[in-house]
Structure 1
Amino acid sequence: MANSPSRTPPIEIASDQEIVARVLQGDSLLFEVLMRRHNQRIYRAIRSIIRDDSECEEVMQESYVRAFEHLAQFEGRALFSTWLTRIAVNEAIKRSIARGKLDPMDLEDFDGENGAMLARYANTPTPESNAARSELTSLLEESILALPVAYRSVLVLRDLEEMSTAETAQVLTLTDANVKVRLHRAHEMLRSELMERAGASSAGALLFHATRCDRVVHAVFERLQHMAE
C-alpha cells in the first residue's frame, strides 16, 4: 500500500469524498482518517444489532475491510457515512444470523435488501461500564439494548447518531414512513418518562472509547497490509 499523504486540502478540513478520492489514488493510509471520523457511528450501528459487545470490534474490522475493498464502488450519491454504515449494518446482520442470534420475529422486520439477505441466511448483557458514567445512562443503555433489533437500530441511528430519516432509511433499506413509525414505537417501548429523565445523557450511551478506536484502526491496517502482500 502507498503511504504518502499529500497536498491540498488539509486533511482536517477535507471532506469524506475528497479523502476517498485520495485513497483511491494511492494514499491508502488516509483510510485511517475515515475510520476515526466514523468509528463512533459504526460502533453504535453494529451494537444496535449485536448485543454482545465483545463481537462488535470484530464486525467493525470486517466492515472496514469490506469498505476498503469496495471503495471504488462508492459513487457519492449518498453520504460516505451512510454508505459505510450500511455496510456495517449488513455485516452485523450476517454475523447475527450465522451465529443464530437473531430471533425469528426479527427476520420479519427487515425489508428491501436486508430482507432478501435475511431470507438467504435464515437457515444458516450488560453494556460496558464506565466509572465516570452515571447510573441513569447505564439504565438507558440497558433499555435500548432490550428493544427488538428492528426498533433498536432505528432508534440508535436517529436519536444517538442523529442521522436524518432519509439517511436511516437508506442504511436500513426501509421507507421514510417505516423509519418514522419504528422510531415512534421505539420511544413508546423505552417509555417517555425514561427518555425525559435521561435528557442530554442519551448522547453518552454506547460510546466507543479512544483505546478501542486505536485497536480497531491498527487491526484493520494489519489486515489490509496482509492482503496487499
Structure 2
Amino acid sequence: MSEANTRLARDYAALDDAALVVCVRAGEREAFRQVMQRCNQRLYRVVRGVLDDEAEIEDVMQEAYLKVFEKIETFRGASSLATWISRIAINEAIQRLRRRHPTVDIDNLDNAAPDAGSVVSLPLRAADGDPAAAVARDELHRLLERAVATLPPTFRSVFLLRDVEGCSTEETAELLAIRSETVKTRLHRARQLLQSELRERAEAALGGTFPFLGRRCSRVTDAVLARLDGHFPANT
C-alpha cells in the first residue's frame, strides 16, 4: 500500500495526542483536522471566557489553530495537547481584548468581597431523559449561558474552565497563568455572582411561569363543561 493510501486508511480518531502530533509533523492534513475536532469544544469555552462576540471568538480560534500548526514542532508533551493549544488560544484572546480595552484591574476584581455562606456549584450537566426534559434542559442551558455572559472575564474564564470544561484547579491555573489560590477565589466569586444573576432572572420571570392560556385553557374548560352537561339550567 502506498504512503498516501496508508494515510487515507489511518483511523486518526483512535490515535493518542503524541501519535497525532507525529502525523501532523509529517504533513498529514487529516491528522490536524482530528486535532481541531478533538479540541474545538474546549477552545470555544476558554476563548468564550475572555471574549463575548461570537464572530470574534471563532476568528480567535482560527488564529490560534494557525499558530498551533506553526509551532507544532515545539510541542514536547509536558502538558496535554489540549492544554497546550488552549494556552495559545487564551493568549490570542487576551491580546485581542487588550487591543480593544484598557487593562482590567484584576486585583480589584479578586478582592471583591464574597458574601458569607456556602456556595453550591451550579449543575451544568444533566442525565438523558424524555423529550420534555430535554427541552427543559435546553432552556436551562440558554438561561445559564446568558447569566455566565454577565460575569467579568476574569471570573468567567475560571468558571468555564472549572465548572463547565471540568479542568482541575491546577490545570486552570496553568492555562490562565495564575496561582491555584486565585483560581479558587475567582471560582467562588463567579458562582456567587451567577447565583445572584439567576435569582434575579427567576424572580422577574415568576409572573409568567406555568402559563395555561390559549388552546390549553379552552380545551380543559370545554372538556369540564361537557362532562357537566345537564347539570346547569338551560340557557345559563
User: Smaller-chain TM-score range?
Assistant: 0.5 to 0.7
TM-score by length of 1: 0.67
- Post-superposition Cα deviations, 1:174-209, rounded to whole Å, max 9, x if no partner, equal 1222111211111111118959xxxxxxxxxxxxxx
Alpha-carbon distance between aligned partners in 2 of 1:45 and 1:3, rounded to the nearest angstrom: 35
* Aligned-partner SS, 2:77: coil
Alpha-carbon distance between aligned partners in 1 of 2:197 and 2:36, rounded to the nearest angstrom: 35
Structure 1 regions of 5+ residues with no counterpart?
Answer: 111-131, 196-229
Alpha-carbon distance between aligned partners in 1 of 2:175 and 2:28, rounded to the nearest angstrom: 27
Alpha-carbon distance between aligned partners in 1 of 2:140 and 2:196, rounded to the nearest angstrom: 14
The match for 1:89 is 90
- Post-superposition Cα deviations, 1:98-151, rounded to whole Å, max 9, x if no partner, equal 122x663358779xxxxxxxxxxxxxxxxxxxxx67333222111111111111
**Contact in 2 for aligned 1:155/1:186 (Cα 8 Å):** yes
- Confirm or deny that 1:180 pairs with 2:184: yes
Q: CA deviation at 1:24?
A: 0.8
Over the matched positions of the two proteins, sequence identity in percent amounts to 40
Of 164, 183, 195, 1:191 maps to: 195
**Contact in 1 for aligned 2:147/2:198 (Cα 8 Å):** no
Q: CA RMSD in A?
A: 2.9
Of 128, 136, 139, 2:140 maps to: 136
Q: CA deviation at 1:4?
A: 6.7
**Contact in 2 for aligned 1:42/1:88 (Cα 8 Å):** yes
- Confirm or deny that 1:156 pairs with 2:160: yes
The match for 2:174 is 170
* AA matched with 1:163: C
Alpha-carbon distance between aligned partners in 2 of 1:25 and 1:108, rounded to the nearest angstrom: 47
The match for 1:52 is 53
**Contact in 1 for aligned 2:49/2:157 (Cα 8 Å):** yes
**Contact in 2 for aligned 1:106/1:148 (Cα 8 Å):** no
Which has more radius of gyration? 2
Alpha-carbon distance between aligned partners in 1 of 2:84 and 2:187, rounded to the nearest angstrom: 21
| Structure of higher RCO (CA pairs closer than 8 Å, 6+ residues apart) | 1
* AA matched with 2:165: E
**Contact in 2 for aligned 1:45/1:156 (Cα 8 Å):** yes
Classify 1:99/1:32 alpha carbon distance in 2 versus 1 (closer, same or farther; 3 Å). Answer: same
**Contact in 2 for aligned 1:4/1:29 (Cα 8 Å):** no
Structure 2 regions of 5+ residues with no counterpart?
Answer: 111-134, 200-236
Alignment of 1:34-113 (within 5 A): 34-100=35-101, 104-106=104-106
Aligned length: 173
* AA matched with 1:58: D
- Post-superposition Cα deviations, 1:20-42, rounded to whole Å, max 9, x if no partner, equal 11111222331000001111110
